[in-house]
Structure 1
């Protein structure tokens, strides 16, 4: 019987959806960090229950041809690049398999072609946003990343997948916080001032926003800190403060204050300009987001006669990308500030055929049906939890010809596709896109087409 701390030889036969090596021993399935299919290892058992266990590599006896030896294990341990030990070519194949497996296992779909995941030419230093905790480690204020499944901060200076300029800004901020003796937040004691530093950078514009998340409003000598920061980085055009005094893992509290410059930065996507405020959602990989949205436009195959409903419209990035190709775009979003942003972004680009409302998608779509608005295409780009059954029903009641589903979680995508197929919308095309190279996450664009009965 296998028990904790046993060291046993194991063959890695697969990767889990989170990129952990899978070994099968004595009827148990073990998950092992930093182990790849085809590798034989000496595994130390960390935890075991009736069906599954967790192990760690004590020694690698054979090495996979798909292993990237150049990765620092700190990136694997922190989850920053939890697939970084796999060569990039193999990462793209892994993600394609994730999509195929989810469609088959969850939705029972096996007859659709899943093309190879669209990847990046340079699959690192791509993130345009960093959210970095500030904590005390060994008596000194540090910035870094939490070790996976913990709140132990690992000090990190080069984040590998972030734009290098963002890393440089974080290091200068860290050194200034030390210099002015600003106290880092202590989760246990609920003391200290500085919880997080968030940095956003426009991919094309190069504009930088810095956000300080603090437990209370007053920051000692903040004017001097800002002066020194902007002196080193003139491209910093916005410095914001967010006040969060709650005992929570949620990064932002409700209150934002402008400390310097303007309250947003501007960047481009597919030729449109977008104002990005501190709390607004904006895809963190601009280059691949453009490919993602272009794939959605191509799948929808729209004309100037089409009317598009953009559910989960955010600040308008995907809907406004469609606007120049169609007659009208109707967007709906529950976050009031995002709705304001999307209308401002429409005006910024001289787009007059996009209309945004603040509501739940279900209620907005029901109103639009009553008003006689006929959507030919519905766009959905939901959070990881996917769509609710009520949303799926409401979207079908609008009777669109096509539904274009942009997903960041292929498991919930497969579940939702199954519901749509039951309501007469068939999955016609799918394309995985690698928005998060070096991590196990995969995005996918799907096209669902209304099945016509013989009398239609």
Structure 2
């Protein structure tokens, strides 16, 4: 059916020029001002496309043929790149990926934050943007008569079976290959999403880059794991660095990976890793940044922006297992960290002890409730650091920060859109954004982290 407001119609074939890239990596072509999103097309290209869907203000098209390629187009080194939904930009050279991420941040600073004059620095990239991920979470299924494990195909729940992923550390690939092969040999049934039966749902691998330690997490539908001991023995035999084999039970009908129950089947509860000399104990469900080299660069920039001289009280409002807090504690008088996940706070306290850091206090709860309570106890923050989830800061927390009036706010963000929205609120409340530095934590994808610094006007 033709959309009355669209200058194009479904199944129409067109030749277009791609002039932009969306935040999810699709090319953007304009036909009489009407935007068409074209996956795998790059800015500067002339391409033949087929319209597959039209909506009131925009439509979607499939790339049929590239008539004039961008000078930034490269052959993706991964054989399943065009099928798999894990990466979005392997077909683009790395310099262009970094420029595109800087542009993405500049655009939202201008459009959403209404801050066209705030400097957005070039993206801090990696020397070698491959094999960087220290954590792999791979769904398992029974497809075409056999057990498969891999990432979901783009916009689907069909698994693209794989033996390796070139943005993962090789140790993670070894875990996935080994568990997949053992599950087949031992006839351990894969989970069936539709029927909600079977056993093995996900294979999760964690790797400590500085320690070479490996943790294997088996996410299962129920507590019973058939041929458990043989599976454990096989994993120990085939994976040299394994220090921990863990079972997580998730019996819900959900696409959330982890359930509430976690049991160590063999070995340690934690594996260890270090960032810039600070040691971290990481449990199966701990949040720990997946790219340790870039995490060091990101947190060093946050520390630079906090501009501490040893006399300040700092609040870390989404502290997780204490990663940023412990970086800050080395330079501050005292750091207070708050996090809603109780296990994360247990880990944060453990990590402070592990590093003999005694000027950090951690509390469980919602930042927007705990911080006002601290304030009432007479704790006055000179600097507040926030590193919220993708949805950005809670509105109540933003109000709390504006009431507390720290002289500086350092905002670490994994979503430029919600960062820009929150910067606008803080600006209206009396703060001035000084600068923003994007950091490429996830090469070959469209995701970009940023750190921004605001001063009290």
Q: State whether residues 27 and 38 of structure 2, in contact with CA within 8 Å, keep that contact through their aligned partners in structure 1.
A: yes
| 1:18-417 equivalent positions in 2, closer than 5 A | 18-72=24-78, 74-417=80-423
> How far apart are the structure 1 equivalents of 2:19 and 2:405?
45
> How far apart are the structure 2 equivalents of 1:445 and 1:212?
34
Q: State whether residues 76 and 83 of structure 1, in contact with CA within 8 Å, keep that contact through their aligned partners in structure 2.
A: no
Q: Which runs of 5+ in 2 are unaligned?
A: 1-6
Q: State whether residues 314 and 339 of structure 1, in contact with CA within 8 Å, keep that contact through their aligned partners in structure 2.
A: yes
> How far apart are the structure 1 equivalents of 2:453 and 2:56?
41
2:81 counterpart SS class? helix
CA displacement at 1:364 relative to structure 2: 1.3
Counterpart residue number, 2:4: none
Counterpart residue number, 2:448: 442
Q: State whether residues 129 and 198 of structure 1, in contact with CA within 8 Å, keep that contact through their aligned partners in structure 2.
A: yes
Q: State whether residues 171 and 214 of structure 2, in contact with CA within 8 Å, keep that contact through their aligned partners in structure 1.
A: no
> How far apart are the structure 2 equivalents of 1:73 and 1:421?
46
> How far apart are the structure 2 equivalents of 1:433 and 1:282?
16
CA displacement at 1:73 relative to structure 2: 6.6
Counterpart residue number, 2:3: none
> How far apart are the structure 2 equivalents of 1:240 and 1:127?
20
Q: State whether residues 309 and 378 of structure 1, in contact with CA within 8 Å, keep that contact through their aligned partners in structure 2.
A: yes
> How far apart are the structure 2 equivalents of 1:73 and 1:211?
27
Give the counterpart of 1:425 among 431, 435, 439.
Answer: 431
> How far apart are the structure 1 equivalents of 2:83 and 2:400?
42
1:14 counterpart SS class? strand
> How far apart are the structure 2 equivalents of 1:50 and 1:380?
38
Alpha-carbon spacing, 1:429–1:2, altered in 2? closer, same or farther (3 Å): closer
CA displacement at 1:76 relative to structure 2: 4.3
Deviating more after overlay: 51-60 vs 122-131? 51-60
Alpha-carbon spacing, 1:230–1:154, altered in 2? closer, same or farther (3 Å): same
Q: State whether residues 141 and 184 of structure 1, in contact with CA within 8 Å, keep that contact through their aligned partners in structure 2.
A: yes
> How far apart are the structure 2 equivalents of 1:214 and 1:82?
29
> How far apart are the structure 1 equivalents of 2:57 and 2:403?
43
Counterpart residue number, 1:454: none
Alpha-carbon spacing, 1:371–1:417, altered in 2? closer, same or farther (3 Å): same
> How far apart are the structure 2 equivalents of 1:215 and 1:256?
12
2:372 counterpart SS class? helix
CA displacement at 1:241 relative to structure 2: 0.5
Q: State whether residues 76 and 84 of structure 1, in contact with CA within 8 Å, keep that contact through their aligned partners in structure 2.
A: no
Q: State whether residues 80 and 159 of structure 1, in contact with CA within 8 Å, keep that contact through their aligned partners in structure 2.
A: no
> How far apart are the structure 1 equivalents of 2:360 and 2:281?
16
> How far apart are the structure 1 equivalents of 2:174 and 2:129?
19
Deviating more after overlay: 4-13 vs 341-350? 4-13
1:313 counterpart SS class? coil
> How far apart are the structure 1 equivalents of 2:63 and 2:339?
46
> How far apart are the structure 2 equivalents of 1:336 and 1:188?
32
CA displacement at 1:54 relative to structure 2: 0.9
Deviations 1:404-432 (A, max 9, x none): 00000000000000000111111012100
Q: State whether residues 368 and 394 of structure 2, in contact with CA within 8 Å, keep that contact through their aligned partners in structure 1.
A: no
CA displacement at 1:10 relative to structure 2: 1.2
1:136 counterpart SS class? strand
> How far apart are the structure 2 equivalents of 1:162 and 1:75?
14
> How far apart are the structure 1 equivalents of 2:255 and 2:156?
12
> How far apart are the structure 2 equivalents of 1:73 and 1:9?
28
Give the TM-score of the pair, scaled to structure 1. 0.97
Deviations 1:325-382 (A, max 9, x none): 1110000011111111100100000000000011111111111111111111101000
> How far apart are the structure 2 equivalents of 1:76 and 1:93?
22
2:68 counterpart SS class? coil
2:76 counterpart SS class? coil
Deviations 1:155-202 (A, max 9, x none): 111211100121112101100000000000111111211000100000
